[in-house]
Chains A and B, each alone.
Chain A
Amino acid sequence: MKAIIGLGLVLGLLVILPAAQYVLAAGDEAGEYLDRRVEIWGLFYRLMIVAFTIGTVVSGTIVWLVLRFRESNPKAKPTEYEGSGEW
């Protein structure tokens, strides 16, 4: 079962998605006049907002983890393994 799901995922990534992209994104119908600069730079700025948001969430979580679970934090409790004193 896992092999079938894996095969499906690989096929999806290698065959189906590029085919759908080709049919839907690069279709034959005529496009409208637009300013590439506006579209492409607009996309860039939106993606930068997302990139910095993800960066903030990830790095903020790491900083919080390090501070919250440091050994010298009064709130820190030893884990079951550490508490047993068996090393």
Chain B
Amino acid sequence: MKDLENGKMSGHSNWPEWVYVGVVIALLCYVGAEAWNIERIVEHVPADAEVIQVIGQQWLWTFEHEDGTKEIGELHVEKGKAYKFEITSKDVIHSFNIHDYVVLLDAVPGKINTVWFSPTDAGEFPIQCREYCGLIHYNMRATLIVEDKGA
């Protein structure tokens, strides 16, 4: 070919390819760093968070507060306070989900998984198992009841 001189194409440039590669690598680095940072922020539990033990079993949720109060199928919490869930299971793997507060974590037998949240709105919110756990999985539900302070 006429353009081929000394093994190189005259007038040929690779820079668009390097820009392309650079942009994609930079964006992927941003994705990794950003996701890592948010995970780090979200996982740090405030010092004054109240611990609530969450136990999943076919097919209901049981909650135990720090003062020993137990609830089945309902969880009462206070608006604006931080709560740390210690989630486990008695039988098979379940998944504890409060959709409205973006809380989602597996309940695994013999293991305690932790996640924390702080409710910002009073009201009732559904809690649902998100890991297929048997015949009545679809109805393994509970209700999160967020109350105003002093209510």
Contact = CB atoms under 8 A, between A and B. Distances in A.
A32 interface: yes
Given A34-B118, A35-B120, A80-B4, A40 B27 contact: no
A54 B43 contact: no
Contact of A83 (B1, B28, B116): B1
Interface string B2-34: 001000000000000000100110011011001
Contact of A32 (B4, B31, B46): B46
A61 B16 CA distance: 11
Interface SS majority for chain B: helix
A24 B40 contact: yes
Contacts of B116: 31
A55 B4 CA distance: 35
B151 interface: no
Given A47-B35, A50-B27, A61-B20, A27 B44 contact: yes
A32 to B, nearest CB: 7
A81 B43 CA distance: 59
Contact of B31 (A29, A36, A50, A79): A50
A54 B41 contact: no
Interface residues of B, number: 31
A86 interface: no
B135 interface: no
A25 interface: yes
A53 B20 CA distance: 12
B82 interface: yes
A46 interface: yes
Interface in B33-50: 34-36, 38-47
Contact of B27 (A21, A25, A53, A80): A53
**Closest 8 pairs (CB-CB, A-B):** A31-B44, A30-B47, A80-B1, A25-B40, A43-B38, A36-B102, A40-B102, A50-B27
Given A37-B101, A37-B102, A40-B42, 6 more contacts: A30-B45, A30-B47, A36-B117, A40-B38, A43-B35, A50-B31
